[in-house]
Structure 1
Amino acid sequence: MSKGPGLFADIGKKAKDLLTRDYSTDQKFSISTNSVSGLALTSTTLKKGVVHAADVATQYKYRNALFDVKIDTDSNILTTITFTEILPSTKAIASFQVPHYNSSKLEVQYFHDHATVTAIAALKQNPLIDVTATLGSPTISFGAEAGYDTTSRTFTKYNFGIILTMPDKCASVILRDKADSIKASYLQHLDESKRSAIVGEIFRKIFTNENIITVGGLYAVDHLTNVKAKLNSNGKLGALLQHEVLPKSTVTISGEIDTKTLDKYPRFGLSLALKP
């Protein structure tokens, strides 16, 4: 699209991904296939406790349109259609779910060298409308987000954020929950390939004086193996080992333990993702 600031949703995303992505206490197996016509099929089986679930996702790209259909174990069908460059620097995303039609929505994103604007509307009689805007550059940008309920004519949310991005570091601050909470994060890469990093995050509930501090890290053991770990002020310790067994195919072993209640057994997760 453009080389300007990213979306409001991108503020703090890098730190959040390092602290949350691939951590799991479930058993998950997924396999993906691609065809020369642009059709991609992904089948996922998930075991959470004693509950088993299976999802199937199909993706097809035709010119400037991307069709994504997901079917879950409850026979819910979620269809997402993404159109790029219908208008210059514009992306449109339409999604609807069967049989839950009230969850359908339309999103329009506009990208400029110094600004990014998005508008999301629920496709129902009295829609909820979300609008976000970011101003600045790829190095530093400011953003705001607002949600409006056309039925009650009230704002459901308003958030503000700022992000500073350098080649080897990233820092962000977000004021959320109608100014009731603030989240600040900092991520520092430790090598030129950006495969090793450390991250810190502070979350504070302003009116209740509740604080949660989380620190974590990513270390590349070699070109096929990564290790991640995180610890928060509530005593939750998590770690994972991820290894690329085949090109683009990975196995992930993760675990979590509450260091304040060591009498409880730790929880473990296993994930296997096979891609062509």
Structure 2
Amino acid sequence: MALFCCFSLYFQAITSTGTKKCDLFLAGANTQLKFRNVTTDIKVDINSNISTSSALSYAGISSSIGLTANPIVNFSGVLGTNVIALGTDISFDTKTRNFTKCNARLSFTNADLIASLALHVGNSINASYYHIMNPSTNTVVGAEVTHSFSTNVNTITVGTQHALDPLTTFKVRVNHAGKASTLIQHKWHPKSLFTISGEVDTKSINKSPKVRLALALKP
């Protein structure tokens, strides 16, 4: 009786699923546990994969592992508030004993500014900045800097956008290599857009600029 009461307090839902597709049968089970401000979901599928996710007031954690001889273990988590947050995403191959993925990101957000720093271990580091200068005209400036560890190359891109009118937006960006691109987008229907874009290499004036036209129609 005590065990049953404990389950009734902490278990919120237990569900099972089954799907037959051709000659294959797919099944799984989900369990949700809740204690105070912590909610945990546990999922098991027919391929012997177990995944868990936990949500707290200022944090979220998820992980997964396959019940095989050499599983790949995945873990991701985020900690923070609406202003500042720190997250990570890791995958470990138990067969090769190597990390196949190891990423981390730090972000800062307020009413008119978003800044982030992302680290992709063994690959690159990236910093970005997005600032709303004038909300009424949707005037925004942004910049992004990326460093590649494998090639030791830095990539720098800056850009801006401005609403010419409530239905027309103008965007321009340029990178460290001298490539500049512009875009004008007009919304002539709530779900239909007409776009003109162009790109030019300022370091190779002899090359013809690229011009594109696009029309998106949605009923």
Answer yes or no: same fold by TM over 0.5: yes
Contact 2:137 2:164 in 1 (8 A): no
Alignment partners' CA distance in 2, 1:106 and 1:265: 54
- Could you tell me how far 1:161 is from its partner in structure 2? 1.5
Greater RCO between the two (CA within 8 Å, min separation 6)? Answer: 1
In the alignment, structure 1 residue 270 sits paired with structure 2 residue 205: no
Alignment partners' CA distance in 1, 2:109 and 2:80: 11
Counting only pairs closer than 5 Å after superposition, residues 1-276 of structure 1 correspond to structure 2 as: 87=32, 111-119=55-63, 128-178=72-122, 180-193=123-136, 195-206=138-149, 208-276=151-219
Where do 5+ consecutive residues of structure 2 fail to align?
1-30, 43-48
Alignment partners' CA distance in 1, 2:50 and 2:209: 42
- When residues 266 and 121 of structure 1 are mapped into structure 2, their CA distance, relative to the original with a 3 A threshold, is farther
Alpha-carbon displacement from aligned partner over 1:185-217 (angstroms, at most 9, x marks no partner)? 111001235822000111123465421111001
Alignment partners' CA distance in 1, 2:216 and 2:73: 36
Give the 3-state SS of the residue equivalent to 1:190 in structure 2: strand
| Identity level (%) | 36
Alpha-carbon displacement from aligned partner over 1:44-90 (angstroms, at most 9, x marks no partner)? xxxxxxxxxxxxxxxxxxxxxxxxxxxxxxxxxxxxxxxxxx95878
Give the 3-state SS of the residue equivalent to 1:164 in structure 2: strand
Contact 2:137 2:162 in 1 (8 A): no
How many residues are matched? 180
Give the counterpart letter for 1:228 in structure 2.
Answer: K
- When residues 258 and 275 of structure 1 are mapped into structure 2, their CA distance, relative to the original with a 3 A threshold, is same
Alignment partners' CA distance in 2, 1:258 and 1:156: 36
CA RMSD of aligned residues (A): 3.3
Show the counterpart of 1:101: none
Alignment partners' CA distance in 1, 2:147 and 2:197: 27
Larger % of strand: which?
2
Give the 3-state SS of the residue equivalent to 2:96 in structure 1: coil
Give the 3-state SS of the residue equivalent to 2:76 in structure 1: strand
Alignment partners' CA distance in 1, 2:216 and 2:142: 26
Give the counterpart letter for 1:240 in structure 2.
Answer: L
Give the counterpart letter for 1:213 in structure 2.
Answer: I
Give the counterpart letter for 1:217 in structure 2.
Answer: T
Alignment partners' CA distance in 2, 1:274 and 1:91: 40
Report the TM-score when normalising by structure 1: 0.55
